[in-house]
Amino acid sequence: MAAKRAQATLEEAERQWMLVMERSAVRRAAFTPEQAERERTLVRERSAARRAALTPQQVDRERTVARDRSSARRATLKLKEIEKQREQAREKVAAWRATLTPKEIQLQQTVATERTRSKRATTLPNKAEEQRVVARKRSTARRAPYTPDELQRLRICSSEKAPSKKWQAPTRKAENKTIRK
């Protein structure tokens, strides 16, 4: 089967993949909500078990392939379609979050934290450094449109709105204690 897939052209592979997705969508449309949830749970468990068996290099390869696939798909979309999709995704997430209880919210935060830790643990040191460099570049790019004066003004405004917990002005009691010592 793998050899057959390797021989297929990219268009044939895409067409076959779309057929499989359509059949799958038709099958899922017939599910009751309970069956759909059970199916999602099974898929999550299977993919988690598969991911757990991967080496860090394989995990990195999987991410790269997924990122490339996503980039190729996005490249075909127009900017407005992308923004529309993002808005729809935000609305779905907001609706989903609104249904969560405080306990479920805490659970979701824990799951997200663990996911981040696992990603960091499986990332190779060179790749981690590369990701930090990319993050710095993005941060710099966000600040680039501002002049140094504007950046300073923004920093002052943001520090006035939310005082830092790391440093607080000494109180009279604190001053008296330091004088006595």
118-146 residue pLDDT tens: 877 777 788 888 888 888 887 777 666 76
Among 108, 123, 138, give the residue marking a domain's end: 123
User: Distance between CA atoms of 36 and 38, rounded to whole angstroms?
Assistant: 5
Residue percentage of the chain with pLDDT more than 90: 7
How high does pLDDT run on average in the chain?
A: 78
Q: Are residues 58 and 132 in the same domain?
A: no
Q: Are residues 130 and 115 in the same domain?
A: no
Q: Is the pLDDT of residue 39 over 80?
A: yes
| Containing structural domain, residue 148 | 124-154
Handedness of CA 11, 24, 43, 118 (dihedral sign): positive
- Mean pLDDT, rounded, for 16-28: 84
Global pTM exceeds 0.75:
no
